[in-house]
């Protein structure tokens, strides 16, 4: 990256390496144009959410197994749905209470937040969102206290 040593503004575009206009530099622009900004955002999204060579069904199964293993490691007794049409994917025992766990796939958004498809909130107690780096994000995290 090239910087103007006096102002520390970036002088070349992060996408195409072309010059950034003085007007854009004053606005602390990283890209020379809106098109380069969109290309840069697309590349950043794909880097944060790499494509995987599995079908959606296989990805879903992998995510359920990852969440199951994580919950087992946290000390919970874990139960898995026997049919794809069950209202939630997993259940864990918390004391004498069953907690419904729905597993879904999520993507990182710009800024680091996690996005995931909407799920009917009356069908689970905990939503486990697995991102493509195989990290698990529990919502609400507070629902999973000690087994
Ligand atoms: Zn550019």
- Residue-wise pLDDT for 48-97, tens only, equals 888 888 898 899 999 999 999 999 999 999 999 999 889 999 999 988 89
The residues placing their C-beta within 5 Å of ligand 1, an ion, are: 13, 15-16, 18, 32, 36
User: Is the model's pLDDT at 138 over the cut of 90?
Assistant: yes
Domain range annotation of the chain? 1-48, 56-143
Is residue 23 classed exposed, middle or buried when 0-12, 13-18 and 19+ CB atoms within 10 A define those classes?
exposed
Q: Are 136 and 129 in contact (CB under 8 A)?
A: yes
CA 111 / ligand 1 centre spacing (Å): 21
CA–CA separation, 41 and 46 (whole Å):
9
CA 107 / ligand 1 centre spacing (Å): 26
CA 6 / ligand 1 centre spacing (Å): 22
Q: Are 102 and 123 in contact (CB under 8 A)?
A: yes
Residue 1 confidence class, pLDDT cut points 50, 70, 90: very low
CA–CA separation, 134 and 131 (whole Å):
5
Each residue of 8-53: pLDDT tens digit?
A: 678 999 999 999 999 999 898 999 999 999 999 999 888 888 888 8
User: Is the model's pLDDT at 6 over the cut of 70?
Assistant: no
The dotted CATH code for 56-143 is 3.40.1350.10
CA 34 / ligand 1 centre spacing (Å): 8
CA 42 / ligand 1 centre spacing (Å): 14
Structure tokens at 33: 């144009």
The helix/strand count (H/E) of the chain reads as 3, 7
CA–CA separation, 101 and 66 (whole Å):
13
CA 33 / ligand 1 centre spacing (Å): 6
Each residue of 110-131: pLDDT tens digit?
A: 887 899 999 998 999 999 999 9
pTM for the predicted model, two decimal places:
0.74
Q: Are 65 and 49 in contact (CB under 8 A)?
A: no
């Amino acid at each position: 990256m090239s910087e103007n040593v006096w102002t520390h503004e970036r002088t070349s575009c992060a996408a195409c390496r072309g010059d950034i206009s003085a007007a854009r530099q004053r606005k602390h622009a990283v890209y020379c144009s809106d098109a380069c900004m969109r290309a840069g955002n697309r590349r950043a999204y794909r880097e944060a959410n790499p494509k995987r060579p599995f079908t959606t069904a296989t990805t879903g199964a992998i995510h359920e197994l990852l969440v199951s293993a994580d919950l087992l490691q946290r000390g919970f007794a874990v139960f898995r749905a026997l049919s794809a049409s069950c209202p939630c994917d997993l259940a864990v025992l918390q004391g004498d209470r069953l907690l419904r766990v729905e597993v879904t796939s999520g993507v990182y958004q710009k800024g680091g937040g996690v996005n995931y498809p909407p799920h009917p909130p009356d069908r689970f107690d905990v939503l486990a969102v697995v991102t493509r780096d195989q990290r698990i994000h529990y919502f609400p995290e507070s629902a999973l206290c000690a087994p």
